[in-house]
């Protein structure tokens, strides 16, 4: 077949497979070949599951040959962030402490991906334990942005976003605690959606900050992201915070938005996120897309959300606090690495040596900050205060959504920065998620959609919607995509 299968959208691939014009094996092989050709330069993958992928593809082809009704994404390859447990397939969370761990079970999302007939290509690179904004904090080396290999692909899910931009996979899974799906989407010119908290299952997702962690879809088009969202989303009794309600019809909303009519939709620009601090090129691309949204019929107003400026400090107390508790389970006894167990050392010594060797510097920094914020005498001043700020941010969202249907802002204050530019100062790295964090603290959905270029590098626009109104954000994102188009990265 002459078409380059790696350049197609998930919808196109699924269509060809369904009609028998190509096979799932052919599609999978094309993507495995692409990975073999470019991933030594991109390093999007930590593990490529060649045998597993081809076996899954053969199974889809056999089911189709037997006349079975296949789902809308059957035969489509997907790359999975290494934060989700995959049965028998290495799962490291980008950390040495889990090196060699092969989970005995699948995360709910992975199970749903398999049931839908998608083909898992492998596990993608990430900042260790999803803590970071550049994928440079992976214990296995940085991922490179396909737009410019000297630059970061965002983080923590830089591997998933880079795999899409390098045409190594048409679909990917990420997880978003403070921006880790949307920020990599923005800086790689791809689409990344953070669902409503509780709208996608956390079962089998290695926990970072349990009140914020939200797995979600990454793709090159809004419709592909919505289709993937529909496959992985919905109630899961194995996750206690999963919402026991049907998922909004995100696919119908994306199709409706693609029609390019936003008449009757009121959008609020977050005024705190369009001023000082954002790069001029980012603001210019954002302003142009706002004009495009207005041309599609949307009414645009400015909305002030004064507490959003405190989201970053609140997040950097709440997330480390939760992480300091969650990461206590990595003790050298239950999973992965164990150091110093020579028969003469006490359990405490082995735990301490394992954690010293297994965790990287950023993870240790978070554990220390979190332990301090939760310690007696400081709890009210730090953790308690941050929780109060979280409530104020939620109130800002509630008030805004009484006036507008959705909020918009740039996804990130700056485009992809050079590798190494922000690693020496943690605060500079934290700033990458300035605009995405409020949504996590509130719990609503947010999506990043490409909105233009600044000096040849992608810029993303973020749409934020009320909780359980994920369909609304897909409609607006698809409408914008219909006006500005998708971005094509330079050929690798
Ligand atoms: N960059 C943020 C952090 O380092 C967000 C990470 C995420 O969403 N997983 O915590």
Is the distance from the beta carbon of residue 178 to the nearest atom of ligand 1 less than 6 Å?
yes
User: How many structural domains is the chain composed of?
Assistant: 1
Is 266 considered catalytic here?
Answer: no
Q: Which atom of ligand 1 is nearest to the CA of 175?
A: 9
| pLDDT, position 165 | 98
Which residues of the chain, if any, have pLDDT below 70? 1-2
Ligand 1 pocket, mutate which of 128, 158, 159, 180 (most atoms under 8 A from CB): 180
Phi–psi pair at 403, nearest 5 degrees: -100, -35
Q: Where are the strands (E) in 209-284, listed by range?
A: 214-219, 266-270
Give the whole-angstrom CA distance, residue 197 versus residue 417.
29
Q: Is residue 213 part of a domain?
A: yes
Residue 175 lies in a domain: yes
**Rounded to an integer, what distance in angstroms lies between the CA atom of residue 178 and that of residue 316?**
10
| Sequence-ordered alpha helix ranges (H) in 379-455 | 385-403, 426-430, 437-442
> Does the active-site annotation cover 156?
yes
> How many CB atoms sit inside 10 A of residue 391's CB?
12
69 vs 162: CA distance, rounded Å: 32
What pLDDT does residue 275 have? Answer: 84
Distance CA 417, CA 72 (A): 37
The answer as to whether 366 is a domain residue is: no
Asked if the structure places residue 364 within a domain, the reply is no
Q: In this structure, is residue 224 part of a structural domain?
A: yes
Phi, psi of 91 (to 5 degrees): -135, 110
Residue 357 maps to a domain? no
**CATH, residue 155:** 3.90.1300.10
CB 174 within 8 A of CB 192: yes
Do the domain assignments include residue 455? yes
> Is the CB of residue 317 less than 8 Å from the CB of residue 383?
yes
Residue 180 Cβ inside 6 Å of ligand 1? The answer reads yes
Contacts of residue 323, defined as CB under 8 A and 6 or more positions apart, other chains included, come to: 129, 131, 208, 209, 363, 366, 367, 370
Any catalytic annotation for residue 134? no
Q: What is the pTM of this model?
A: 0.98
Within a domain: residue 60?
A: yes
Q: Which domain holds residue 31?
A: 5-268+290-300+404-484
């Amino acid at each position: 077949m002459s078409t380059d299968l790696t350049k197609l959208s998930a919808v196109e691939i699924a269509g060809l497979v369904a009609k028998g014009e190509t096979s799932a094996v052919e599609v999978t092989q094309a993507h495995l070949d692409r990975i073999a050709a470019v991933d030594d330069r991109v390093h999007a993958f930590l593990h490529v599951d060649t045998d597993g992928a081809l076996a899954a593809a053969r199974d889809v082809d056999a089911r189709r040959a037997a006349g079975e009704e296949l789902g809308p994404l059957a035969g489509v390859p997907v790359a999975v962030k290494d934060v989700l447990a995959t049965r028998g397939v290495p799962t490291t969370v980008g950390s040495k402490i889990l090196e060699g761990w092969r989970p005995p079970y699948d995360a709910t999302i992975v199970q749903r991906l398999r049931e839908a007939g998608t083909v898992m290509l492998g596990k993608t690179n990430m900042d260790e334990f999803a803590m970071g904004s550049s994928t440079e904090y992976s214990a296995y080396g940085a991922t490179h942005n396909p737009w410019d290999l000297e630059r970061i692909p965002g983080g923590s899910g830089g591997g998933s976003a880079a795999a899409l931009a390098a045409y190594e996979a048409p679909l990917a899974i990420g997880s978003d605690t403070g921006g880790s799906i949307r920020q990599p989407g923005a800086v790689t010119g791809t689409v990344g959606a953070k669902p409503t908290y509780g709208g996608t299952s956390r079962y089998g997702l290695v926990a970072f900050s349990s009140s914020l962690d939200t797995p979600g879809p990454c793709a090159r088009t809004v419709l592909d992201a919505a289709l993937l969202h529909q496959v992985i989303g919905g109630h899961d009794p194995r996750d206690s915070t999963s919402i026991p309600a049907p998922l909004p019809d995100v696919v119908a909303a994306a199709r409706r938005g693609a029609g390019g009519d936003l008449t009757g939709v009121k959008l609020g620009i977050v005024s705190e996120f369009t001023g000082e601090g954002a790069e001029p090129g980012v603001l210019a691309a954002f302003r142009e897309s706002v004009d495009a949204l207005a041309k599609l019929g949307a009414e645009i107003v400015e909305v002030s959300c004064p507490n959003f400026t405190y989201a970053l400090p609140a997040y950097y107390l709440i997330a480390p606090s939760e992480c300091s508790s969650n990461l206590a389970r990595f003790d050298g006894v239950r999973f992965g690495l164990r150091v110093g167990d020579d028969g003469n050392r006490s359990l405490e010594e082995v735990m301490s040596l394992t954690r010293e060797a297994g965790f990287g510097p950023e993870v240790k920094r978070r554990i220390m900050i979190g332990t301090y914020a939760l310690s007696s005498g400081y709890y009210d001043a730090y953790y308690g205060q941050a929780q109060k700020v979280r409530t104020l941010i939620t109130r800002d969202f509630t008030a805004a959504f009484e006036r507008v249907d959705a909020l918009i802002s740039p996804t990130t204050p700056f485009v992809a920065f050079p590798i190494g530019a922000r690693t020496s100062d943690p605060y500079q790295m934290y700033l990458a998620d300035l605009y995405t964090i409020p949504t996590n603290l509130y719990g609503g959905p947010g999506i990043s959609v490409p909105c233009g270029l600044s000096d040849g590098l992608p810029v993303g626009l973020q749409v934020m919607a009320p909780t359980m109104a994920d369909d609304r954000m897909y409609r607006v994102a698809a409408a914008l995509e219909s006006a500005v188009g998708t971005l094509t990265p330079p050929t690798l």
